[in-house]
Amino acid sequence: MTESSANKPANGEVCHRPKNGIKPGRNGFVKNHHHYHHQQPKHCYPEDKAQHTSYNGGLGLYNRPFNESFEETPLLVAVLTYMGYGILTIFGYLRDFLRDWKIERCHIAREREEQRDFVPLYQDFENFYTRNLYMRIRDSWNRPICSVPGAKVDLVERVSHDYNWTFDYTGRVVGGVINMGSYNYLGFAENTGYCAEAAAEVTMKYGVGVASTRQEMGNLDRHEEMEALVAKFLGVESAIAFGMGFATNSMNIPALSGKGCLILSDELNHASLVLGARLSGSTIRVFKHNNMQSLEKMLRDAIVHGQPRTHRPWKKILILVEGIYSMEGSIVRLPEVIALKKRFGAYLYLDEAHSIGALGPAGRGVVDYFGLDPRDVDVMMGTFTKSFGAAGGYIGGRRELIDYLRVHSHSAVYATSMSPPVVEQIITSMKCIMGEDGTTLGRERVKRLAENTVYFRRKMTEMGFIIYGNSDSPVVPMMLYLPAKIGAFGREMLKRNIGVVVVGFPATPIIESRARFCISAAHTKDMLDTALCVISEVGDLLQVKYSRHRRLPSLDRAFDHSIYDEIQD
């Protein structure tokens, strides 16, 4: 895998580029890509965040259309957004002033008297944002629920009498809210049915804890069984599982990479990947989001120039990418990443937190979606939290890799192993997706999710919202831009019994506040129609139908129920 010469013939066109970096025009997408590269800068409003499409020409690396759109921010909206933040900041300073002079009541928890002369625990500006911006719309987050996080969810009603500084629970329940927020892609968040029953049985047999680490006395037979199943599901030689998805990244990347190694990381990678890379002590360079030219340039420069100052060659290069980016809804350009990593002899770490189960004809993630060979990805990482309705994370790959991790993973040595009922949930839900339970229920869920996604995205685009991301991604970010609309959208939707996630700075760039919908296989067509209807209504109310392309960019194909059949082999 590391010998680039051996792979050259297999890599197709990507390897044989003319020296000036401009690729032959026959591959339509590549041209577009070049184009895209110039138009991507995030804060250049007059420029267009172009439509970005690849065609299935038979010559390219893609076996299916790859539609990813990031419509530009309208200039007026951009200006208004900055003004919005400006006004909020001015009022923030004003109110801080009033609080300082005790004119306005201050709700902030204070340092103990005894410790007043200590160095302040927080810097003042650190909490300015929290105090003056976040607090205004704090009710949009952390909404407590009191039911299964399924297609419909019951919320605990809470009110605030002091502008969100504290919440009171009324004791009432807001029932039957359509849940567009949970990562319940395949609808396995269930309290009845085969998975829940099996988990219940294991709870009674094993209890919920383990009270030891994998290497000491916490390696249960169920863990081994689950890992074998995960490996089979992924199509890799071996797999190892951990109790927390976040920690799977942050505690295993340091085992794979170290000083003298280079990590190339996508700019929008999840915090856990960033933390893992940082803890590894490797040099980290960040390439533009999903931008293959940026990645290629970095790979080329890294190998040609070696390490900074010493100019020694890098020991190894690890590329960190995610399958689906949870805030953008974009899908990694995996065929190109694989071609690049083969060409340059780098290793690929693929985080499938959102894509495993949610993409591909068999629900096996982004590798399956593109019809690639899982052996081309060196480290297949993913989580059980989302599609499987459980908790934890896994790493799959070649036997040597997993053996090494079994010995050297921080998690295997120091962290308590996974809870048995959670393991059982993973085993049963995974078997269901694989059809090993003797039914086609799992397959139907995967198909249903793909259908729901395409349907929902198409309708949203038709209604004139700016929707980011790939047309097949079940994560659907909808742009709100203005800070005031973050809170308003969340509240108006909840009033109409739809639970959505809204996100603003710092999770997104300051101007690109958005709402995010997560499509689930558990959503029925009725639910989606209800939700769409409400979204449209609130969209009109808040005037967030920003899109100026009142057309159907490449999504304009009749919905095809056999969407996946075309690439089945």
Please check whether residue 35 is in contact with residue 47, taking contact to mean a CB–CB distance below 8 angstroms. no
Segment near another protein (CB under 8 A), from 29-37, 186-194, 435-443, 542-550?
A: 186-194
DSSP state, residue 182: S
| Comparison of 110 and 161: residue with beta carbon closer to another protein | 110
Q: Give SS3 for 417.
A: coil
How far apart, in whole angstroms, are the C-alpha atoms of residue 335 and residue 422?
A: 33
Nearer to another protein, 425 or 453 (CB): 425
Q: Which of 81, 419, 471, 547 binds another protein (CB under 8 A)?
A: 419
Closest distance of CB 147 from another protein, Å: 7
Interactions with another protein, residue window 285-314 (CB under 8 A): 300, 303-304, 313-314
How far apart, in whole angstroms, are the C-alpha atoms of residue 203 and residue 219? 17
Beta carbon nearer to another protein, 59 or 510:
510
Please report how close the Cβ of residue 265 comes to another protein at its closest, in angstroms: 16
Interaction pattern, residues 540-569, with another protein; x per rule: CB under 8 A: ------------------------------
CB of 378 to another protein, least distance (A): 6
User: In the complex with another protein, which residue's Cβ is closer, 273 or 331?
Assistant: 273
> Does 347 participate in binding another protein (rule CB under 8 A)?
yes
Return the range that interacts with another protein (CB under 8 A); candidates 93-101, 205-213, 529-537, 553-561: 205-213
Residue 396 contacts another protein per CB under 8 A: no
Residue 406 in the binding site for another protein (CB under 8 A): yes
Specify the 3-state DSSP secondary structure of 15: helix
Site string for another protein, 423-442 (x = CB under 8 A): --x-----------------
CB of 427 to another protein, least distance (A): 11
Which tokens go with 175?
A: 């029932």
CA gap 59, 35 in Å, rounded: 20
The reply to whether omega before 506 is within 30° of 0 (cis) is yes
- Which residues 59-78 are close enough to bind another protein by CB under 8 A? none
β-strands 66-69, 51-54: how paired? Answer: antiparallel
Q: Which of 58, 114, 311, 558 binds another protein (CB under 8 A)?
A: 114
- Evaluate whether 257 touches 397 at the Cβ level (below 8 Å): no
Assess contact for 361 and 568: CB atoms under 8 A: yes
Sheet with 66-69, strands from edge to edge, namely 51-54, 66-69, 469-470
Q: Beta 152-159 vs 168-179: how paired, if at all?
A: antiparallel
Q: Does 203 interact with another protein (rule: CB under 8 A)?
A: yes
252 and 243 Cβ atoms separated by less than 8 Å: no
**18-57 positions binding another protein, by CB under 8 A:** 19
The yes or no reply on residue 103 touching another protein (CB under 8 A) is no
User: Which own/partner contact pairs does 80-85 have at CB distance under 8 Å and 24+ positions apart?
Assistant: 80/481, 80/482, 81/481, 81/482, 81/483, 81/510, 81/511, 81/513, 82/511, 84/482, 84/483, 84/484, 85/483, 85/510
Stretch that binds another protein, among 25-33, 51-59, 76-84, 379-387 (CB under 8 A): 379-387
Binding track, positions 485-524, relative to another protein; x by CB under 8 A: --------------x-x-----------------------
Binding of another protein by 234 (CB under 8 A):
no
The residue among 79 and 217 lying less far from another protein, judged by its C-beta, is 217
